[in-house]
Amino acid sequence: MRELPSGARVVEDLVVPSRGYLRARSIAAGQTVRILDVEGEQVADIILTRAAEPRDWLSCLNTKLLNGTERISTGHVLHSKQSHPLATVVADTVAVHWFGGGFCSEETNRARYGVEGTVSCKTNLAASLDAHVASPHDLELDSCASLFMNLSADADGRFSIGPPPGRAGDFLDLRAETDLVLGLSACPADRNPCNNFRPSPLRVVVYETARSTA
C-alpha cells in the first residue's frame, strides 16, 4: 500500500473479499477512509449517509451540481440529498469514477443477460447496510457512487463500459466532514468489462492525522 500521510494513525485496516461487501463502518468527522484497489481493475460501489440523519444519503446528482462537474476527484466534496457536505476527496490516484448513480442488481442482470439469482452490488450494499435498510429495495439509485468505474458516453450518446484504469495499489481517500456511515460492495459484475471480467478484492483503511484529532 502506498504511504499514508506523515503521522497518520490507522484506525481500521480491512480486506473486502472478491464479490463481497464491507459490513457498514462508522467514520468519525475528520477521519479519512482509503478505498484501495488491491489487484487492479476493480470497481468499488459505495453509499454514505449522515450518522445524525440516516436517511440523508449521498446524492450523486447534488454532488455533481454543487461541484459544477461530472468528473469528481481530488478537492471535490460529496454532498447528501439534503445538500450537506459528507466527505472531501483528499487523494485520488485514478480520477475515473461514475457518479451517475445506480448499481448492478439481480433484476438488471436478468433483463440484460437472462440469468437468475446473481450476486450483485444491490444485494451486497443491502447486506452491508442491513441496520439502515429493511430490504434491498430501500436502497436509492442516486445514493451509490461507483469508484474506479470506467463508464462513458459516445458522441451519439450511447453508453459504454470499459475496464477500470486502476492498477494494483491505486486508491481514493475520503475525509469525513461529518460523522458518517459507509457501506461498500466489491462489485461482482463479470458479464461486462466493469471489472475486466475478473472481480477481485478491495482494501479499506480508516486513518487519522493530527488534523483529525486536533
pLDDT of residue 212: 65
Statement: the pTM of the whole predicted model exceeds 0.75: yes
Report if residue 3 sits inside a domain. Answer: no
**10 domain residue, yes or no:** no
6, part of any domain: no
What is the structure's pLDDT at 139?
93
pLDDT under 50 in the chain at which residues?
A: none
Domain hosting residue 119, numbered range: 20-213
Is residue 12 a part of any domain in this protein? no
pLDDT for 27 equals 98
Structural domain contains residue 57: yes
Establish if 33 belongs to a structural domain.
yes
Q: Does residue 11 form part of some domain?
A: no
Instruction: State the total domains in the chain.
Output: 1
Per-residue three-class SS string for the chain? CCCCCCCCEEEEEEEECCCCEEEEEEECCCCEEEEEECCECCCEEEEEEECCEEEEEECHHHHHHHHCCCCCCCCCEEEECCCCEEEEEEEECCCCEECCCCCCCHHHHHHHHCCCCCCCHHHHHHHHCCCCCCCHHHCCHHHEEEECCEEEECCCCCEEEECCCCECCCEEEEEECCCEEEEEEECCCCCCHHHCCCCCCEEEEEEECHHHHC
129-148 pLDDT, tens digit each: 998 887 888 999 999 999 99
**Is 8 a domain residue?**
no
pLDDT at 195: 98
